[in-house]
Structure formats: C-alpha cells, structure tokens
C-alpha cells in the first residue's frame, strides 16, 4: 500500500455491469454477480447512493483486528459504457485513493472461469474499463473474470450481452465465489498474495 494512502481510507470495490433484469445473467454482468455475493457475505443490501448513479453497500471485510478493512461495494447504474462517472463520483465522495479502487469485470482474453488480478494497465477494448480509466486514470486494481472468446463468427457485442450457457452455468456459482475470494484476498492481504493464490 502506498505510504501516502490516507489512514483509514476505505476500499471501493466496483462490480461492472448493466442495470435491469434483462441483463442480470449476461456474461457482461459477472462483475455485478461478484459484487452481489460480496454484499451477501458482509450482510448488506445495495441501496441507491444519492446523486452518484450507483447502488452501494458499506461494510467491513476480514477478521477483527489490523487486517479488517472498511469497504464500499458499488454497482454503477449508468450502463457499462458510462461507468466512469459514477465510479469517480463515489471515489471522490468516500475519499478513496485510486490505488484502493478495485474493478471486477468480464474478460474476453481469458478462458471461462479463470481469474487475473492486476494493478493498472490498458482496457483491452472493454468499454466499462475505458470509461473508468478516462474518469480517474488507469492506476486502479482489476479482478478480471474470464469469459472466453465468442464461438465461430459471433460478434463480441452479441456474445457479452448473452446469458452464460447452460453448461457454463453449472460452474458459474463456483467461479463467482472464487472471484469474491480473490477480491477479499486483494483488499486484506495485498496484490502479490492475491496474484499468487488466484491468477490462473
């Protein structure tokens, strides 16, 4: 953690996705799924966050003591391509350093269910990341959830906005659970430990 990080500053964990029941099980919405599970784990319910165009849950993760971390879980309600505005508004409101922001998102260039935890980097064509990076710079953490590439000649835009297949859904719960574990590990134990335990 950067020595300039304000003492007691919370972490902001953002699941990227699209609002609305029609998108709920889309591949593009796996960030929302992970955020929902994390909220369940800390016993919180998402509520609208004032003017930030997002839903948030505030709570703590980790064991009692020095490893315990204050965390803000968020789901932007602006649609994926405009995620940056709500994320940056929340970051400003809660006074979160960019290095303590975690974006959880779908990733085409990783096999289904595999994870990559990283700090900074490009957006790899992901419009949600593009918007977040434009709003606050690239130096935030990412938990990348692999969804694989579209089959045959299917367009990427069609693929990410389709629900997970019935075969994928058999393992989806396990993979979402593992991604939530990776977020907790990153926040509590740091990037290197999370990468060593979860990058595949």
Residues tagged active-site: 28
CA geometry: angle at 94 spanning 76 and 180, to 5°?
A: 55
Nearest residue to 150 via CA among 25, 28, 17: 28
Give me the helices (H) in the chain, please. 30-41, 84-94, 127-136, 156-160, 166-189, 191-198
Q: What residues have CB less than 8 Å from 61, skipping those under 6 apart? A: 38, 41, 42, 68, 69, 71, 184, 187, 188
Q: What residues have CB less than 8 Å from 64, skipping those under 6 apart? A: none
d(CA 15, CA 71): 13
């Amino acid at each position: 953690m950067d020595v300039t990080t304000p003492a007691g500053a919370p972490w902001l964990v953002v699941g990227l996705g699209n609002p609305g029941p029609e998108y709920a099980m889309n591949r593009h919405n796996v960030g929302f799924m992970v955020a929902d599970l994390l909220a369940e784990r800390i016993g919180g319910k998402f509520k609208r966050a004032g003017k930030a165009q997002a839903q948030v849950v505030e709570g703590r993760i980790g064991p009692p003591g020095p490893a315990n971390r204050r965390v803000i879980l968020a789901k932007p309600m602006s649609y994926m391509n405009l995620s940056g505005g709500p994320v940056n508004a929340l970051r400003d409101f809660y006074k979160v350093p960019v290095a303590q922001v975690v974006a959880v998102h779908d990733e085409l260039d990783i096999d289904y269910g595999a994870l990559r935890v990283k700090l900074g980097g490009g957006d790899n064509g992901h419009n949600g990341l593009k918007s977040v990076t434009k709003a606050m710079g690239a130096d935030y953490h990412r938990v990348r959830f692999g969804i694989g590439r579209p089959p045959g000649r299917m367009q990427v835009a069609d693929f990410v906005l389709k629900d997970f297949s019935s075969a994928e859904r058999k393992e989806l719960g396990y993979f979402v659970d593992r991604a939530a574990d990776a977020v907790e590990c990153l926040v509590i134990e740091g990037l290197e430990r999370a990468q060593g335990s979860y990058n595949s």
